Structure 1
Amino acid sequence: MKKWFPNLILFMLMTITIALAAEASPQKKVFLQNQGTRTAPVLSIHNTCHGPVEVEVRLESGTNVESAPVLPARFTVPPSAQISAIRLWPSAPDAPWSYRYTYRFTLGDPGAVHRPPRPYRPPFPANKRFRISKAFGKRAAPHDAYSVNILMPRGASVCTARAGVVMEISREQFQGRVGNRVVKGQTDLIRILHNDGTMGIYAHLIPRSSGVKPGDRIAEGQVIGACESAGGADPYLHFSIQRNAGMRLESVSFRFAGPDGSGVIPVIGMVLSTLSE
């Protein structure tokens, strides 16, 4: 993501580019905007997500320009909020100046520490039993190393393993193969923000099956969607806990609640069960 501000002497061109920089697309989750003046820009960071984000801003190029703070710099922006983040000015006030900046963001608070109050409830309704087909694998990418796949029939209800706030619902594309047939489609992913700043990931859901929306507060055990096949022969729920590890998402180890309430580490072939409520 880039913004360009030309030489301030070129007034007409400058006016056009600043106006473009101030426009915020409704689709953008995070964007920067000049809330200062043309000669004394103050960049604010706007977070439209229902959870905190970490934003990194870099000065890609510049002439006769200084900033406070010095770039690159990182900022943590609260949910549905904006902060005044960066001031820019010419080193030599009477000389031309220009700058170009880029930014990127990562969901979550980098200060989050995984502290669940108890083991996680298996993410399906009471009196059900489903088998784990994929468990923790340290060779996987960091964001997915501590994740599980739970085999569930298509349309089976998916429940929250822990209370929180719906941070986002995103649509994902998939392509798979069943026999000699190529299967393409879409599934939903729901991200639930927990009170310790970690995030629960519920993927491979039937699109628009959730009945919840970003910003909704969700209780533990509440139905949030239905399981979908993601192109393979067997539909499954993909579940993990993630945290922002400093401009990157990483999954963290967790335990499911066993029949007696004690925590168990998920392994391939384990049958998870939920008791009556």
Structure 2
Amino acid sequence: MTASEASHDGARLRIEPADGEYLAYADNRLAGPIEVLLRARQPGIASDPPLPARATVLAYDSTLVARLRPPSGGIGTMQLSLTVIPGHPGARPRDVEYQLPLRQPGVRIDQGFTGAFSHDDEENRYALDFAADVDTPVLAARAGIIMQTESGFLGSGQQRDGFGHRANFVRILHDDGSMAVYAHLKTDGVQVRSGQQVEAGQQIGLSGNTGFSTGPHLHFSVQVNRGMHLVSIPFRMRGVAMPKR
């Protein structure tokens, strides 16, 4: 990015002049904390602290990430990148029992912890895929604040590169800093708004079949930020024996 302002999912990088240098701020647009990493894509940018520089930004807040002294060409020549990860890196999740996230008779899990199809990376290793027809009510499995939503994606496919980041979802922040993700929701199927407080059992959306998916289902996981990368963690859920498939 070469502009003085640049947007990123969940945050904005804002550059302001100040006494011969430039101040790089990260503006958090989410209803929960984020961690950011500011990098230089070229040599010659002096910075305090030196780049790459990391910072934690609270919900709807702004944080000064670095003071920049650009090369002789000025601010227009600076090549910067901002990486954003949801969640506070100091989160300490408690051992709690989650409620079922669906309102339907019976429970069938199509893919459990460490599932070979798509639960094979840190973000998704400890996730459950619940079989659920499109339009099945999705419920909050634990009380929290709606931190982030996406409801505009259409369609699904089995190509990870093309569909891996195109699932509609709700992210709920819990009081211990952990975050629950409810994914593959129906297009326009999110029924809550960012910043809203929800209780366990409250309806938050409708299940669907969007993103990297073989068929209609609800993907549920609990994640924490562990130093600029998301990690899923094991959890307990009422009435569910945790399978490994």
TM-score range, shorter chain: 0.7 to 0.9
How far off is 1:195 after superposition?
A: 1.2
Q: Any unmatched runs of 5+ in structure 2?
A: 159-165
Find the counterpart in structure 1 of residue 162 from structure 2.
none
Find the counterpart in structure 1 of residue 23 from structure 2.
42
Matches of 2:62 and 2:23, distance apart in 1:
13
How far off is 1:174 after superposition?
A: 4.1
Select 2:106's aligned residue among 129, 151, 159.
Answer: 129
Q: Do residues 212 (structure 1) and 187 (structure 2) align?
A: no
Checking the alignment, whether the CA contact within 8 Å between 1:36 and 1:43 is kept in structure 2 is no
Checking the alignment, whether the CA contact within 8 Å between 2:186 and 2:208 is kept in structure 1 is yes
Change in CA separation of 1:172 and 1:38 when aligned onto 2, cut-off 3 Å = farther
Secondary structure of residue in 1 paired with 2:188: coil
Secondary structure of residue in 1 paired with 2:68: strand
How far off is 1:97 after superposition?
A: 6.4
Q: Output one character per residue of 1:158-189: Cα deviation in whole Å (capped at 9) or x when no partner.
A: 10111111111124454348xxxxxxxx7521
Select 1:252's aligned residue among 225, 233, 236.
Answer: 233
Q: Which moves more between the two structures, 233-242 or 244-253?
A: 233-242
Find the counterpart in structure 1 of residue 89 from structure 2.
110
Matches of 1:89 and 1:153, distance apart in 2:
55
Checking the alignment, whether the CA contact within 8 Å between 1:187 and 1:228 is kept in structure 2 is no
Secondary structure of residue in 1 paired with 2:142: coil
RMSD of Structure 2 on Structure 1 (CA): 2.8
How far off is 1:57 after superposition?
A: 1.1
Between the aligned residues of both structures, percent identity stands at 31
Change in CA separation of 1:244 and 1:172 when aligned onto 2, cut-off 3 Å = farther
Match of 2:88, as an amino acid? D
Secondary structure of residue in 2 paired with 1:205: strand
How far off is 1:59 after superposition?
A: 2.6
Checking the alignment, whether the CA contact within 8 Å between 1:51 and 1:193 is kept in structure 2 is yes
Change in CA separation of 1:150 and 1:165 when aligned onto 2, cut-off 3 Å = same
Tell me how many residue pairs correspond in the alignment: 230
Matches of 2:235 and 2:9, distance apart in 1:
32
| Structure 1 stretches of 4+ moved >3 Å | 95-100, 171-177, 229-234
How far off is 1:235 after superposition?
A: 2.3
Select 2:182's aligned residue among 197, 202, 210.
Answer: 202
Checking the alignment, whether the CA contact within 8 Å between 2:129 and 2:219 is kept in structure 1 is yes
How far off is 1:236 after superposition?
A: 1.5
Matches of 2:25 and 2:170, distance apart in 1:
28
Q: Do residues 161 (structure 1) and 137 (structure 2) align?
A: no
Q: Any unmatched runs of 5+ in structure 1?
A: 4-19, 178-185, 259-263, 270-277
How far off is 1:219 after superposition?
A: 0.7
Find the counterpart in structure 1 of residue 97 from structure 2.
119
Find the counterpart in structure 1 of residue 47 from structure 2.
67
Select 1:228's aligned residue among 208, 212, 229.
Answer: 208
Checking the alignment, whether the CA contact within 8 Å between 2:209 and 2:215 is kept in structure 1 is yes
Structure-2-length-normalised TM-score:
0.82
Structure-1-length-normalised TM-score:
0.73
Match of 1:137, as an amino acid? T
Q: Do residues 55 (structure 1) and 33 (structure 2) align?
A: no
Match of 1:145, as an amino acid? R
Match of 2:47, as an amino acid? S
Checking the alignment, whether the CA contact within 8 Å between 1:142 and 1:251 is kept in structure 2 is yes
Q: Do residues 100 (structure 1) and 83 (structure 2) align?
A: no
Checking the alignment, whether the CA contact within 8 Å between 2:47 and 2:69 is kept in structure 1 is yes
Checking the alignment, whether the CA contact within 8 Å between 2:187 and 2:210 is kept in structure 1 is no
Match of 2:242, as an amino acid? P
Q: Output one character per residue of 1:219-275: Cα deviation in whole Å (capped at 9) or x when no partner.
A: 1110011122359775211111111121111111111113xxxxx552169xxxxxx
Change in CA separation of 1:84 and 1:233 when aligned onto 2, cut-off 3 Å = closer
Find the counterpart in structure 2 of residue 237 from structure 1.
218
